[in-house]
Amino acid sequence: MKLLIVFCFILFSITASATELRGTGDMGVIVERASGGLLVVEHSSNSQLAAIEGLGDLSHASVVYSRDERYAYVFGRDGGLTKIDILAGRIDKRIMQSGNSIGGAISQDGSLVAVSNYEPGGVRIFDAQTLKLVADIPAEYAPGKLSKTVGLVDAPGNRFVFSLYEGNQIWIVDMSNPGKPDIIRIKKIGKAPYDALITPNGRYYIAGLFGEDSMALVDLWHPEEGARKILKGYLRHDEKLPVYKMPHLEGWALAGDQAFVPAVGQHKVLVVNTRDWTLNDEIEVKGQPVFVMARPDGRQVWVNFAFPDNQFVQVIDVESHMLIKTLEPGKGVLHMEFTPRGEAVWISVRDKNRIDVYDTATLNRIKTLPAKKPSGIFFTDRAHKMGL
Amino acid sequence: MRSYPLLLVLGMNSLLAESVSTLRQAELQELIHQDCGSCHGMKLTGGLGPAITQQALENKSHTFLKNTIRDGRPGTPMPPWKNLISEMDIDWIANYLKQGGVKP
């Protein structure tokens, strides 16, 4: 009898959950990189909804979303491309598309997913529904020489833009006609582009250069003008420190006409005037910044750091450029993600096996969630942002 | 990591003879996969930096590895680690890599 009741209860719960409708606008995923898994979470009441395993090597994994915010595309280090149904909490499709990859992007119309590969160097573009190969674009910068590709983003006009780390080039791939990609190759953009970003309006593509003290900017309204260097010599007056982790440029903090940018090899956040791309100010911070991210309303900028300062997070007031708080969530703060309207921020704390949720008004921690060696956090509102 | 400045003060030579403690070995393993891993991949199969698996390092000498870790590779993003880890740590890491992740 007892068994029967339990059975009925289970049956009831299954039917109930199967018929219960829910949106995905408050959902997201967290990468558990050491175990090759993913947590599906929601930020209305800050809880875990599902755990998914079997995604391979997720070091440096990143995620983009389908425009209906139901599917997450996960780009793994081992070349794995996995399409996850976050509503069902399961893998929908998975392919191995290269030997070593670094990230990806989804096209403006949502029909194509592009992956940036280190090995073999280049970009491969897939049908977003079926994950069938649509275009293979080897990053051949000299006869027989393929470059690692970095800083892949989507741009208006169903274009993808990326940089060639060894090739010192920026390529713009127009996929308006998917069967016949049209490629613009901008050469000699500067030495060793290591990452890039596109401004939220989709107009400017900016690559960080590891090999020199400047950045390369392309106006995507006028690709025929090529790339120009901005922030030339921003380190000239300082000694560059060894860089223990490359900064990320994605999610560049733009607030008004100021952009907050991580300085490579310095304990500084640079403030750049976006009208003429000149340096406005430099803010001293705790360590070498990795992510410099603006709260969605643009009033605060949150910064995390490279080893050996990766236990800290600092908050900068955008108006005054002053540090307003230094938090110490614990060793291995790898990523931060704001809720869509920015009242909270989720922080992954790798060595504590924990996600911390902070209230961005009080700067107090309001919740923690367990996660195995968490790295990237990706909420579904990224689906509707260019470059994310 | 905290005790490192003390180790420096004590002097390298006397310490080289001694072995890296089990606790320290665990810390270094973590450092290799998580922090070196940010360029070389968590499984050391390469990323922006080259693969540093046993196979990839077959033709590299122990001394070359130690020099690379200690002083970095100028002209590449590989930074010098000498201000963060001791000579003994560097020696242990070089061994660890040469032996393909097996504790020396």
**Which of B35, B42, B80 is facing A33, going by the closest CB pair?**
B42
State residue B36 phi and psi, 5-degree precision: -60, -35
Residues A255, A279: Cα–Cα separation, whole Å: 15
What ipTM is given for this predicted complex? 0.73
**Which of B34, B37, B79 is facing A242, going by the closest CB pair?**
B79
The predicted-structure confidence for A102-121, as pLDDT tens digits, reads as follows 899 999 999 999 999 998 99
Burial status of residue A357 (CB atoms within 10 A of its CB: 0-12, 13-18, 19 or more)? middle
Searching chain B, which residue's CA lies closest to the CA of residue A306?
Answer: B35
State residue A201 phi and psi, 5-degree precision: -85, 0
Q: Rounded to whole angstroms, what are the CA distances from A105 to A29, A154, A250, A385, B59?
A: 16, 6, 12, 11, 37
Residues A363, A315: Cα–Cα separation, whole Å: 9
Predicted TM-score (pTM) of the model is: 0.88
pLDDT band at B74 (very low <50, low <70, confident <90, very high): confident
Q: Tens digit of pLDDT per residue, chain A (388 long)? A: 555 555 555 555 544 455 689 999 999 999 998 889 999 999 999 999 999 999 998 888 999 999 999 999 999 989 999 999 999 999 999 999 988 888 999 999 999 999 999 989 999 999 999 999 999 999 999 999 999 999 999 999 999 999 999 999 999 999 999 999 999 999 999 999 999 999 989 999 999 998 888 899 999 999 999 999 998 877 665 566 778 888 888 767 787 789 998 988 889 999 999 999 999 999 999 999 999 999 999 999 999 999 899 999 999 999 999 999 999 999 999 999 999 999 999 999 999 999 999 999 999 999 999 999 999 999 999 999 998 8
- Answer whether A115's CB lies under 8 Å from A98's CB: yes
Q: What is the dihedral of CA A257, A289, A155, A43, to 10 degrees?
A: -90
- Answer whether A63's CB lies under 8 Å from A113's CB: no
Of the residues B42, B78, B81, B83, the best mutation for testing chain A's interface (the one with the most A CB atoms within 10 Å of its CB) is B42
Q: Does A277 touch chain B (CB under 8 A)?
A: no
Residue A285 one-letter amino acid:
V
Q: Does A240 touch chain B (CB under 8 A)?
A: no
**Which of A59, A102, A246 is facing B77, going by the closest CB pair?**
A246
Which stretch of DSSP H or E encloses residue A260? strand A258-262
Question: Can you read off the two tokens belonging to residue A37?
Answer: 């898994």
Residues of A in contact with B79 (CB under 8 A): 242-244
How far B80 CA sits from the closest chain A CA (Å)?
Answer: 7
Of the residues B48, B70, B73, B78, the best mutation for testing chain A's interface (the one with the most A CB atoms within 10 Å of its CB) is B48
**Residue spans of beta strands (DSSP E) within A288-353:** 289-294, 300-305, 313-317, 323-327, 333-338, 344-349
